């Protein structure tokens, strides 16, 4: 049975993928920051799938953790790499700290680049599959999310380029572009600056906060199980596509960008976002 490595496996899509993959009979290497010390995360899975599950610490910004993962797979098979680890920093560029901006790119971009680089020998040997989590925010810009959007745009370009250079080795690359799903994503997100009522962006910040709260509590939310099961189907596909959008919002963005000239898409989305983020209450 194939071996799958999942990063960011302690919550959200990552945790759901670990459980679902184990149920399908895959061998799973679940990774996350300080995962070994958090025995409760996979207590049930550890008991039920004793020989299928391996848990490893992996902070993608830690050179030591990355080296340990590289060594682990030097003599072990790896068929699928799922780069799911990531988080979001929100806030206006003018006010976000350099430290937070750099952290955003270290986790979401360089973590993906470097881990993939270290595991490519094993993936080439297996003629494996790399699955990178992007976002609907990798398809369009969004106010107060420029750093996060930029990292997901980077993952889009990285994955497309990588698919071309790995094609001669029969290594597949796919992008997952989820919209807004009910996961722990919003709780893990950070503001990139100190919140202040004196900010010239305070109206936009208030409206964005209200929007996030409304989305988090809306009835009939998009369920992460849809993405989890979709990723498993992609793994089982012989000739997967490079782009997979999940959720009505992501589908709408992709559809609009497909049928509209870029200038028209920018004009329509810009008008809608301006109205949403600059309204008075």
pLDDT at 61: 96
Q: Which residues contact 156 (CB under 8 A, 6 or more apart)?
A: 134, 138, 139, 175
Taking the C-alpha atoms of residue 152 and residue 20, their distance in angstroms, rounded to an integer, is: 25
Q: Contact at 8 Å (CB) between 247 and 221?
A: no
Q: Contact at 8 Å (CB) between 108 and 151?
A: yes
Question: Strands across the sheet with 172-178, in order?
Answer: 53-57, 27-32, 3-6, 80-83, 129-133, 172-178, 243-246
User: What is the enclosing helix (H) or strand (E) of 15?
Assistant: helix 12-23
pLDDT at 182: 64
DSSP letter, residue 221: P
For domain 3-277, the CATH architecture is: 3-Layer(aba) Sandwich (3.40)
pLDDT at 187: 64
- DSSP per-residue letters across 103-114: HHHIIIIIHHHH
pLDDT at 184: 64
User: Where are the chain's structural domains?
Assistant: 3-277
Strand, coil or helix: 23: helix
Taking the C-alpha atoms of residue 189 and residue 2, their distance in angstroms, rounded to an integer, is: 33
- Terminal Cα-to-Cα distance of the chain (whole angstroms): 56
Q: Contact at 8 Å (CB) between 265 and 252?
A: no
pLDDT at 246: 93
Taking the C-alpha atoms of residue 176 and residue 71, their distance in angstroms, rounded to an integer, is: 27
**Helix (H) and strand (E) counts in the chain:** 11, 9
pLDDT at 68: 97
Q: Contact at 8 Å (CB) between 99 and 119?
A: no
pLDDT at 216: 72
Per-residue pLDDT 10s for the chain (281 aa) are 899 999 999 999 999 999 999 999 999 999 999 898 898 999 999 999 989 999 999 999 999 999 999 999 999 999 999 999 999 999 999 999 999 999 999 999 999 999 999 999 999 999 999 999 999 999 999 999 999 999 999 999 999 999 999 999 999 999 999 988 766 666 667 888 888 778 999 999 999 888 888 777 777 778 889 999 999 999 999 999 999 999 888 989 999 999 999 999 999 999 999 999 988 86
Instruction: State the residue for tokens 């996060």.
Output: 148
148 noted as active-site residue: yes
Instruction: State the residue for tokens 């750099």.
Output: 102
In the set 49, 148, 181, 201, the catalytic residue is 148
Half-sphere exposure of 181 (CA within 13 A, CB side): 22
Q: Contact at 8 Å (CB) between 17 and 39?
A: no
pLDDT at 94: 94
């Amino acid at each position: 049975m194939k071996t799958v490595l999942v990063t960011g496996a302690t919550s959200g899509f990552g945790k759901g993928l670990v459980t679902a993959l184990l149920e399908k009979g895959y061998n799973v290497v679940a990774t996350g920051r300080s995962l070994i010390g958090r025995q409760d995360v996979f207590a049930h899975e550890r008991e039920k799938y004793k020989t299928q599950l391996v848990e490893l610490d992996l902070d993608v910004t830690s050179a030591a953790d990355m080296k340990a993962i590289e060594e682990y797979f030097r003599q072990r098979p790896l068929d699928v790499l799922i780069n799911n680890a990531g988080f979001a920093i929100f806030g206006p560029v003018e006010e976000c700290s350099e430290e937070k901006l750099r952290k955003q790119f270290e986790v979401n971009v360089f973590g993906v680049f470097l881990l993939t680089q270290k595991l490519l020998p094993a993936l080439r040997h297996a003629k494996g599959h790399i699955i990178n989590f992007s976002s609907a925010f990798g398809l369009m810009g969004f106010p107060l999310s420029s750093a996060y959007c930029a990292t997901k745009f980077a993952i889009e370009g990285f994955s497309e380029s990588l698919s071309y250079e790995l094609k001669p080795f029969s290594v597949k690359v796919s992008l997952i572009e989820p919209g807004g799903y009910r996961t722990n994503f919003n709780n893990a997100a950070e503001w990139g600056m100190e919140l202040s009522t004196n900010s010239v962006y305070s109206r936009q910040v208030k409206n964005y906060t209200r929007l996030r709260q409304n989305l988090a509590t809306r009835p009939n939310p998009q369920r992460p199980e849809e993405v989890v099961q979709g990723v498993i189907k992609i793994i089982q596909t012989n000739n997967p596509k490079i782009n997979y959008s999940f959720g009505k919002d992501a589908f709408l963005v992709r559809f609009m960008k497909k049928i509209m000239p870029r200038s028209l898409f920018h004009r329509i989305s810009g008008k809608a976002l301006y109205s949403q983020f600059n309204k008075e209450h």
